[in-house]
Amino acid sequence: MNTKSYFFQSFAIVALALVAFIGFKQILPDKIFSESKLDSKNILIDSLLLESVAEDSLSLDEDSLAKSERLLNQQKIVYDEAGGIEFPAETFENYKGYQYLIHFYERLYQLEKNPQSKVRIAYYGDSMTDGDLIVQDVRMNYQERFGGNGVGFVSITSESAASRGSIKGQYSKNWKTQSYLNVKKPISPFGVNGHVFFANNGANTTWIQFEAGLNKFSTSLDNPTLFYGRSSRTGNVNFIIGKDTLRKTLSPNNIVNTLKVSSGSLKAFKANFIHADSIPIYGFNFDNGSGVHVDNFSQRGNSGLPISMFNADVMQAFNNSLKYDLVILHYGTNVLNYGTKNYSWYEKGMTKTVNKIKESFPGVSILIVSTADKSTKYDLEMKTDSAVVPLMKAQKHYALETESGFVNLYTLMGGDGSMIKWVDEAPAKANKDYTHFNQRGAKAIGNLLYEQLNKGYEEYKKLREKRDAEGSKRKAVRKEKADSVSVTNDSL
């Protein structure tokens, strides 16, 4: 065989293949041979999460973690009484922290006594609560028992607006949006929903339209009220209600301003923003003024860390109008995939988040909801992801350290391997990504969350009644002694 001839023949084939590759590259789709950076316009990235992971070595000292866990499990959590009420001691393994929800429970107690009063919950979450999943079921449970009508605070735009059933929202494409997920220094401070919107007035009108949903207790838009921020220039907004148009002025004098669209209930309305491009717009609130109201502040891709960037003064201004009693932080889905089981960096970051919530909403109760179960394929078999339990324990730890209530969603849904069961059930309660619940599963989770919170409330009522009974008994004894002294003095 002629080796030299074979070499040149092989070389010629490679050269022809290279020429063909270069030629075909010009006509094949850019998606395959893109030389530009990935267009991330529709990809949500929690910049603080990425920074925290980058700064952390992701090293895992298994002995230290195991020792720390043993010490925590041996720890007995004994509470100091608050207002004469002290919940029973707990272990770290079974920690729920009802003691730290006393403010919320007292507000519910007062609402039961006076149905015209009001209780409000802010529910912050990630894609688990997108489209009002889980939250709408927590809301319906509370409104069923304590009264209340309306979906609460709703952002101007949302990735899930089209799929949300509790309210139907449509909006023009010329809104400028800034999110706390990927913007550190917004043009104007973020609102209570972690966003700020600007109407890009140009050739086309910037508008938003809402229609009441079909869910129970949300079949009307009650007392629709616009929230907007401070600006040096005024603007206008035209509210179209049926065949009528209400022209109103936006006077952005305060860091947070409100404008009531209409008193009472509407089925739908449209808002056209005119010459309002400099005014920060936050969203609309819908509630009937009494009972329980639950705001869903979900954001895909969120770890919870961006809340630490809230402007406390702006949040307090929101709180002056909305008056929150409980803030729920439901995160974890976006924290599981970073190659680590050491979540000390996340504990530190979320401790900052909880402290920011306390600064922003003074006196509010805080509830941490842990990651749910998630399944990953190991050796061709689906099993609970190895990072789930370490993350759940880290969430429980910072809940305890920050004096927050805690819901262990992982154990609540069944613990190890439970996500596989939820996916395989007929009918299924979770999606094939083995991470997210479908509508059926979200309803079940919402009910489970409500049941745990309500169990704490029923316990609180018993402790309160016991405290009140003992107080009445002590008063009676003091009165009896006083009467006895009075009789003795009279005899003398």
Domain definitions of the chain by residue range: 44-491
Q: Write out the two tokens for 148.
A: 């209340």
Pairing between strand 244-250 and 235-241?
Answer: antiparallel
Euclidean distance between CA atoms 287 and 151, whole angstroms: 7
Which three-class secondary structure state does DSSP give residue 237?
strand
Only one residue has tokens 């299924």, namely 428
DSSP 85: B
In DSSP terms, 389 is beta-bridged to: none
CA distances from 149 to 140, 207, 213, 279, 293 (A): 9, 25, 12, 30, 7
Backbone angles phi, psi at 382, to 5 degrees: -75, 125
Helices (runs of H) and strands (runs of E) counted in the chain: 11, 22
CA distances from 449 to 30, 37, 105, 141, 142 (A): 47, 42, 15, 10, 11
Q: Write out the two tokens for 137.
A: 């079921």
pTM for the whole structure: 0.86
Give yes or no for a contact between 238 and 267, defined as CB atoms under 8 angstroms apart: no
**Residues contacting residue 257 through CB under 8 Å, at least 6 positions apart:** 227, 228, 229, 230, 250, 251
Residue-level pLDDT, tens digit, the chain, 492 residues: 444 444 445 555 545 555 454 444 443 444 333 333 333 343 455 666 666 665 654 545 556 666 666 677 777 899 999 999 999 999 999 999 999 999 999 999 999 999 999 999 999 999 999 999 999 999 999 999 999 999 999 999 988 888 899 999 999 999 999 999 989 899 999 999 999 999 987 778 999 999 999 999 999 999 999 999 999 999 999 999 999 999 999 999 999 999 999 988 999 999 999 999 999 999 999 999 999 999 999 999 999 999 999 999 999 999 999 999 999 999 999 898 766 788 999 999 999 999 999 999 999 999 999 999 999 999 989 999 999 999 999 999 999 999 999 999 999 999 999 999 999 999 999 999 999 999 999 999 999 999 999 999 999 999 999 999 987 777 666 766 766 666 556 665
Other CB atoms closer than 10 Å to residue 115's CB: what's the count?
12
Please give the pLDDT value at position 474: 73
238: alpha, beta or left, given left = phi > 0 and alpha = psi -120 to 50?
A: beta
Please give the pLDDT value at position 479: 67
In DSSP terms, 428 is beta-bridged to: none
Please give the pLDDT value at position 56: 58
Only one residue has tokens 């979906």, namely 151
Q: Where are the beta strands (DSSP E) in 374-422?
A: 375-378, 381-384, 405-407
Q: Got the DSSP string for 332-373? A: -GGGS-SS-S--HHHHHHHHHHHHHHHHHSTT-EEEEE----
Q: Write out the two tokens for 432.
A: 């094939």
Euclidean distance between CA atoms 153 and 163, whole angstroms: 17
Which three-class secondary structure state does DSSP give residue 387?
coil
What number does CATH give the domain 44-491? 3.40.50.1110
User: Cα torsion for 192, 198, 199, 200, to the nearest 10°?
Assistant: -160
- For the chain, the farthest-separated pair of C-alpha atoms sits apart, in whole angstroms, at 139
Pairing between strand 365-369 and 405-407?
Answer: parallel
Q: Got the DSSP string for 17-70? A: HHHHHHHHHTTS-TTTS--SPP--TT----HHHHHHHHHS-----HHHHHHHHH
Please give the pLDDT value at position 265: 94
Please give the pLDDT value at position 352: 97
Euclidean distance between CA atoms 199 and 201, whole angstroms: 6
Q: Write out the two tokens for 204.
A: 């086309």
Distance, C-alpha 477 to centroid of its chain: 49
CA distances from 215 to 17, 140, 149, 238 (A): 61, 8, 11, 28
Which three-class secondary structure state does DSSP give residue 385?
coil
Distance, C-alpha 100 to centroid of its chain: 19
Question: End-to-end distance of the chain based on CA atoms, in angstroms?
Answer: 139
